[in-house]
A = this chain, B = another copy of it.
Amino acid sequence: MSNVTLKDIAEILGVSVTTVSKALKDYKDVKKETREAVRLLAEKLNYKPNPLALNLRNKESKTIGVIIPRIDHNFYSNVLNGIIEEAESRGYLVIILFSGDSAKLEKEQVELLKDKRVDGVLVAVATEAKEVDHLKELMRNNIPLVLFDKVVEDLKCSKVSIDDEKAAFDAVTYLIDSGCGHIAHLRGPLPTETYTNRYLGYKKAVEAAEIQFDPSLVYVSEELSFEDGYDLAKKVMSEHPEVDAIFAMTDLVAMGCLAFCKDEGIKVPEQVSIMGFSNWFMSRNSSPKLSTVDQPITLLGKEATSILINEIKEKKEDSRSLYRSVKLPTKVIARETTR
């Protein structure tokens, strides 16, 4: 059986609880033999300190909370991978809650975590979350907070995200360098910063190459779905037959484009290059294999967690440092849908 307490050990050995506690923590003021005896018995009884008691005494839970919009999405499950690994290796447990991309639910989850006394919180803010009062409230309560993925600029806390603008810039520059001059861009819904940044990168790359920027080459996919990609590719090709490259803001949409081209007998990449975004594992399984942009997703989770835990430690030592803002670099993966 388990659940051995200090008291149990103390009673068996006929010493006080204090002594047992000290012996186990290598206090110098306990006699060698006593210490040995205690350790031996503790080992034998498989003593493990009760974290519930420690939590209460130390006013910490050794737990961090994570709020993400959803989990059935490759991006977030990979981030979680990094978060959980990093947290575990540093002695923290992770509690996961979903916001379902609803500002209201996000607020409730923050509340729940606060009430549960987690030591710190990691949030990928909901798409529709404009208000950040609940996050400010967290900080007012002196609970370390780190934002990741979707980031709110005017909130004074650490942030970790992908450098979407540069990623898109690099991807489009790659297309241009490979000889494409009429590049269409399929972007995501407007209010989302991620997609706006990718769009901005596209625009800058085009302009940097001294190609006239043509707004009519930018299309919006609302659903970010395979079907959207298929339909939009059709639209692009009929409205702009001169197009020789499509840069889609996510792989699934790019694969829709690819399917359309195959169905229409449009040669990829000879006639039209296709560049995706995310390096989703399925992108390796298309034929031709999709070129895309790789994001260090797991690293994103690790990094955010590492910063958060550092802030938790700093808080305990009253040595608060400046908030960090990290943008992780990406890499263009040229496979077979680009020249």
A contacts, CB < 8 Å to B? 1-3, 48, 50-53, 55-56, 59, 61, 63, 70-74, 77-78, 80-81, 84-85, 88, 93-98, 114-117, 140-141, 226-227, 252, 255-256, 259, 263, 282, 284-285, 287
Contacts and interface: CB of A to CB of B under 8 A. Distances in A.
A115 B71 CA distance: 27
A285 B2 contact: no
Given A51-B116, A95-B93, A2 B141 contact: yes
26 contacts: A1-B141, A2-B141, A48-B115, A50-B117, A52-B52, A53-B56, A55-B55, A56-B56, A63-B95, A70-B81, A71-B77, A71-B84, A72-B74, A72-B77, A72-B81, A73-B77, A77-B77, A80-B96, A84-B96, A84-B98, A94-B95, A94-B96, A96-B96, A226-B284, A227-B285, A263-B287
**A-B CB proximity, top 8 nearest:** A226-B285, A77-B77, A52-B55, A52-B56, A48-B115, A71-B77, A93-B95, A56-B56
A96 B55 CA distance: 19
Contacts of A259: 285, 287
B61 A71 contact: no
Q: From A53, A55, A61, name the one whose CB has the most chain B CB atoms within 10 angstroms.
A: A55
A117 B52 contact: yes
A48 B55 CA distance: 17
Nearest to A226: B285
A74 B78 CA distance: 11
Given A1-B141, A78-B72, A59 B51 contact: no
Contacts of A116: 51, 93
